[in-house]
A = this chain, B = another copy of it.
């Protein structure tokens, strides 16, 4: 078998059995191997940002890596923005990038570029296979790295794919990983026992149904507050689950939300920091004198740590805080932000996966959707817009039995709209809701936030995308996804009901 086949067989044997791909000439032997190897599902994207974002969504839902297949430096470059988002989400990806044959690189052909240089900023693990005999072993090492929730970039020169290889390689045994630190749990318990105002700030693996239930008990027992980061890779939400607030995005709201805390206990979360810097406003959001204590870090077992913490504190199920949920009432009339939020909260079906890139429109979605049917809520961790439609695509590939609801602003959706085609091709069960406010609405607030003064006509022109208006029904139709446009709450509710009832991709344009 050749190097490409040895790699595909190694991937399948290593449980990496989905490949999101946009291949070119240098990857043709990998593509050819798909016909000789059983067990690899290859999903085509028409743009590389779809490919890498889909791999992010897949990891978030399955907690194991998919692979990508990208065409040399520029193909990788097109995928970097969503690799950035995936890196910040701690999503593991076996990121495979073709390269010219080793002996061809120095001739500076048109597609030659510094692929390792391009990959390095987003890759925790990075290797160019030197020969066909190394490809399987390198692929296995990439799988091992990606299982540790990292981007592992494997660059595959064409001759290492077509030359004869030795066979497949086994993924190296996992090193024993720390579950959590008992000392850190006891330190957290000491803080919580002081009775001083304390925030339990959670993200990552802590935000499962079980992790949240434990946090609720701890809060009930000790009086601490529990919050999530502004953005979280995946959060269990909906009826019967402990509903927590997140730190607000807007710094003028974030600062008061944290101002009274004397301690912050971090459960995988970061010391809270402003998304952007603003003149004369702080970068760090905690108040002066607030002490920060890390209980778990990314990669540790936060739920086990929370179990231990609850045990040390004697926090029991009966201590869980009672919750006041918003009453959900079918909205009517104009498509206000509140009406949109309510309609979505009512429509989310049991076990749905909600991918949230709603930006300004969605700032009020959290309270009503806490009363929705149980679901998972995925957010953008790296701030590079165009994340949601690819992540929804990958999540739908990962979980074919779950409805995926992708909520996205029209500005964001344009970056990676090619996702819709892959959803149509694979008949993925994704409902995309595009909030067509026809602005980079968030930037209007940011313009004021950074103290840029009064907005003149030219500045306004750079933040408005209404000339011409985008016709999302036409764009969806162009890529084979049925769509409808709504302008009232009643129409929106009807469109959502239809989309939830029927499987397969749909798009709803919410004209605001």
Contact = CB atoms under 8 A, between A and B. Distances in A.
Interface of A: 21, 23-26, 28-29, 31-32, 34-36, 42, 44, 46-47, 49, 73-75, 77-78, 80-81, 84-85, 88, 100-101, 103-104, 107-111, 113-114, 117-118, 120-122, 158-159, 162, 231, 270, 273-277, 279, 283-284, 380-384, 386, 411, 414-415, 417-418, 421, 424-425, 442-443, 446-447, 449-453, 455-459, 461-463, 465, 467-475, 477-480
A148 to B, nearest CB: 19
Given A78-B81, A470-B480, A471-B478, 20 more contacts: A24-B446, A25-B276, A26-B276, A34-B456, A44-B461, A44-B465, A46-B465, A73-B84, A100-B277, A101-B283, A104-B274, A104-B277, A104-B283, A110-B231, A113-B122, A117-B120, A118-B121, A162-B450, A474-B478, A477-B478
A275 B107 CA distance: 10
B450 A25 contact: yes
Contacts of A84: 73-74, 77, 113
Contact of A74 (B113, B274, B384, B479): B384
A277 B475 CA distance: 38
Contact of A32 (B29, B453, B465, B478): B453
A451 B2 CA distance: 12
A23 B460 CA distance: 12
A448 to B, nearest CB: 9
A437 to B, nearest CB: 14
A4 to B, nearest CB: 9
Contacts of A231: 110
Nearest to A122: B113
Contacts of A77: 77, 80-81, 84, 384
Contacts of A386: 47, 78
Given A118-B121, A446-B28, A425 B467 contact: yes
A453 B88 CA distance: 40
A275 B462 CA distance: 39
A286 to B, nearest CB: 12
Contacts of A78: 49, 78, 80-81, 386, 415
Contact of A450 (B47, B158, B461): B158
Contacts of A473: 478
Contacts of A450: 25, 28-29, 158, 162
A23 B114 CA distance: 27
A284 B458 contact: no
A467 B426 CA distance: 9
Contacts of A283: 101, 103-104, 107, 109
Q: Which of A23, A28, A32, A455 has the most CB of B within 10 A?
A: A28
